[in-house]
Amino acid sequence: MNFKMNVGIVFLLVLPGVTSEDIIGILGKPLLLPCYPKLATPINPAAMTVFWQDEKPKVWHVIRNGKEDDSHQDPSYKNRTAFDTDGLASGNLSLLLNPVNVSDDHMTCLVILMSDSNPETVCRVTVNAAAKYQTPRLTVNQTNMTVVCSTEGGYPLASLTFLIGNQTIDPGKENTMISQDPGTGTYNIRSQVTWTRSENITCSVHNPTLNETLSASVIPESEDDEHPTGSTNYTTAIVLIVLVVVVLAVLVGICIQRRKDTPAGSQPEGET
């Protein structure tokens, strides 16, 4: 096997047939990269050197002759890895990554064992970073007849679809706004569709890594539906106004009649 040791990174030209494992890590949470190799000979912890590195290659963690050696650790993994050296004797070479970062997405960690300077890849673990989206929120605007669906804080980018009545609508890019949080790398998605009548509108957000779909539904009230109640209110108001006017007119009429009656009645009384 061809290999060379340079600045603490092991270069392997041929990888032995080690099955790779895909695991999901939640952003900001700890993640154990499992590695329990079946070894032909028992490990002598004091003489054991273990490299955890990716294919770039960047060093995640190193145990040299049974002791931590962070001199060649890549800065992006500083303070983010932990290994329990008790595992050396029992053959538990699992590494704890904490916290998981977006930069870890799709990274493959190789666990390379070196006893008598013969490197052997014993585990391959690929990290798939993810974060749960929030349940989508729907906002209806009756004036321009649009529905806006928005969700935040997820990873990786989700696909968003609308179901209007029984028709699936995949909103185009021009109607979708995607922003990424510069700190955590999570996505916020906001998408708008137009509707024409009062029917069930469902917005679904699918996270491909978590294989999770979150939905919300709304039935917008169209102006057509509002007209009956609206015109009833209008008619009622007109009827009320007419009634008030009529009552006032009658009252005014009575007053005028009384004023006319009173002088007419009193004058003759006063004259007489």
Ligand X SMILES: *[C@@H]1O[C@H](CO)[C@@H](O)[C@H](O)[C@H]1NC(C)=O
Sites of contact with ligand X (CB under 6 A): 32, 76, 78-79, 83-84, 87, 92, 94, 96, 101-103, 141, 143-144, 146, 166, 185, 200, 202, 211, 217, 219
Shortest approach of ligand X to residue 27 CB, angstroms? 9
Shortest approach of ligand X to residue 7 CB, angstroms? 18
Task: Output 87 or 119, the one with its CB closest to ligand X.
Answer: 87
CB atoms within 10 A of CB 51: 26
Do the Cβ atoms of 142 and 219 come closer than 8 Å? no
Handedness of CA 75, 76, 78, 82 (dihedral sign): negative
159 half-sphere exposure, CB direction, 13 A CA radius: 7
List beta partners, residue 112: 51, 121
Three-state DSSP class for residue 149 = strand
Shortest approach of ligand X to residue 200 CB, angstroms? 4
Task: Output 12 or 88, the one with its CB closest to ligand X.
Answer: 88
Task: Output 76 or 266, the one with its CB closest to ligand X.
Answer: 76
Q: Which positions ≥6 away from 227 have C-beta within 8 Å?
A: none
CA distance 185 to 102: 6
Shortest approach of ligand X to residue 250 CB, angstroms? 45
Shortest approach of ligand X to residue 120 CB, angstroms? 19
H helices of the chain, in order, are 87-90, 223-271
Task: Output 94 or 188, the one with its CB closest to ligand X.
Answer: 94
Task: Output 49 or 73, the one with its CB closest to ligand X.
Answer: 73
CA distance 24 to 211: 11
